[in-house]
Amino acid sequence: MKGCLLLQAGLLGYGQQGENLRLLLQARPQYGIIRKVYRPFDEKRHLNGSGFFVHCCSDILNDPEIDVVIELMEDAAAAYQMVSSAIRHGKPVICTNVTMLAACLPELASLRERFQVPLLYGSVFSSCIPALHGIERKLHSRSQYLSFINDVHSNYVLDKIFEEELKPEDASINARVEGIIADSTSSGQEKLLLLLYHIYGMNVPPDELMCLQANRIHASDIEYARQRGLRIKLVAHIIEVANNKVLALMLPQFIEQGNILNNIRGASGGFLLQNELTQQFFSEEQKYSQYGIAPLIVQDMAVIGNGHRNASNQPKKESNLTFTNDFYLKVYVSFERWGQVCQQDFEWIDELHGSCKRCNLAGVIASKKLKETPWFTHPEVSIIATPDCIMENIEKRNLCKRSLQLAGSKLKEPVMDLMYTISPESLLKHISY
């Protein structure tokens, strides 16, 4: 391992990100060079004028001149096999496959400890991992509330719909033109799982997370938000709650104008942390560039090249905290017709409206109950979290309700006070037999 910034890299996989990295290092050769590239025999891509493609991973792992292995593979299983082999060979590794990391980071972290080589994956979250370390040092205490926007494509599309009144498909075309590539549908969930392990050392089963994409937002939801001075963003939360519990979720959410996350526009993401003293620190991720995530890979290369042999995005361990999916959510739900959403699924309902075009309601529902409902995944049902969406429990309200019942009174449900609008001509559409 050379004690200088200039590194010779071996790439596992190539693709668009490999090409971006090649172009960046070609423009800024002081950061390093690509020595060899592994690709399977059936891969059609080639690099003009290169001649250093290899079809056997061992050609990279056994090359003493290669200072760092950079994983750029789409196949998560193959990526794990090669990354783990690279660590066993004593090679510093930079990972980009979020699916592989979400499933295998505990094993890789254990290997890293055993062989004492760097394992970096900052490009998965753009600038968030370094930001988390820096912010926690400023807080001098554990972060209690982390909200973040990491799905740049979804939020870019939502911004275009709000600002330019584009149709979702047109906004997606604009995103592709600007080089903003849509993540896989499971990517947001995988990043959330990875952060839970990185921050708390929690290995959470994927099916225990509350995760929804923003692909079911309806035009009426956009209008609902505009009328109330809100925006819609796809936001993930990791929150420490009572009894040493941690909950996590990712949902489309109404964001108020005063929220820092509301200021994020276009091809950017960001993280908002709050501690027990209600201090807030915000880090905006690096915007998309013509080189994609290549600048972030180069940042990790610089850490290794500067001689930090044991550099790593090291997960933390918090043995006294456990994960929970037992909490309540305040959500807005819109749907095509009555009968698609069962009102009895809710603890209570605060709003209820209907028209010939679309219906909506807002209320409180248990997170476990929400995931079990048939309408949770219905393509015609849109679910959006309210600005203050998290409720740890509803015991105070239930206690009040029981007290009134014992006194001979009845707690009036909020829905009884609300205007209910539905036109006579729309009844046939909404009545279910």
- State whether 273 and 229 are in the same domain: yes
Choosing from 95, 126, 157, the residue where a domain stops is: 126
Same-domain check for residues 277 and 132: yes
pLDDT per residue over 249-305, tens digit each?
999 999 999 888 888 877 667 777 777 665 566 666 655 567 778 888 988 888 888
> CB under 8 Å, gap of 24 or more: what pairs does 76-84 form?
76/100, 76/103, 79/12, 79/13, 80/104, 80/107, 80/108, 82/12, 82/38, 82/57, 83/12, 83/108, 84/108, 84/111
Q: Does residue 330 have a pLDDT over 90?
A: yes
**Residue 373 belongs to some domain of the structure:** yes
Q: Is residue 55 included in any domain, yes or no?
A: yes
Q: Is the pLDDT of residue 83 over 90?
A: yes
Both 200 and 281 in a single domain? yes
Residues 211 and 352 in one domain: no
Q: Residue 244 has what pLDDT?
A: 87
| pLDDT value for 403 | 57
Beta bridge partners of 37: 11, 53
Q: What DSSP state is assigned to residue 205?
A: -
Report whether pLDDT(41) > 70: no
- Domain identity same for 141 and 280: yes
Residue 301 lies in a domain: no
Cα(52)–Cα(30) distance, rounded to whole angstroms? Answer: 20
Q: Which residue has the higher pLDDT, 406 or 232?
A: 232
From 48, 43, 94, 106, select the one nearest 67 (Cα to Cα): 94
Question: What's the rounded Cα separation, in Å, for the pair 67 and 35?
Answer: 10
Residue closest to 233 by CA, chosen among 196, 208, 207, 260: 260
The verdict on 104 and 142 lying in the same domain is no
CA distances (Å), origin 429, targets 221, 339, 355, 362, 420: 20, 11, 10, 21, 17
Task: Tell me, yes or no, whether 267 and 393 share the same domain.
Answer: no
The fraction of the chain above a pLDDT of 90, given in percent, is 37
Q: What share of the chain is helix, strand, coil (3-state, %, to 5)?
A: 40, 20, 40
In a domain, 416, yes or no: yes
pLDDT, residue 356, reads: 81
Domain co-membership, 137 together with 258: yes
**Is residue 237 helix, strand or coil?**
strand
Bridge partners, residue 332, by sequence: 362, 384
pLDDT of residue 422: 44
Residue 298 lies in a domain: no
37 and 122 together in one domain: yes
- 105-151 per-position pLDDT tens digit: 889 989 998 999 999 987 787 645 555 555 555 544 555 788 888 77
Give the domain CATH number at 55.
3.40.50.720
Domain shared by 161 and 239, yes or no = yes
Question: Would you say residue 336 lies in a domain?
Answer: yes
Distance CA 52, CA 70 (A): 15
Q: Domain holding 217: CATH number?
A: 3.30.360.10
| Containing structural domain, residue 391 | 328-430
Maximum Cα interatomic distance, the chain, rounded to a whole number of Å = 86
- Report pLDDT for 281: 64
Considering the domain boundaries, does residue 189 fall inside one?
Answer: yes
Same domain, 151 and 273: yes
Average pLDDT, the chain: 80
Q: Which of 126, 157, 191 lies at the terminal end of a domain, its last residue? A: 126
Judgement on whether residues 84 and 141 belong to the same structural domain of the protein: no
Closest CA to 344 of 304, 308, 384, 372: 372
| Number of domains within the chain | 3
pTM of the predicted protein model? 0.80
User: Which of residues 258, 285, 312 is at a domain's end?
Assistant: 285
In a domain, 12, yes or no: yes
Q: Of 402 and 86, which is predicted with more confidence?
A: 86
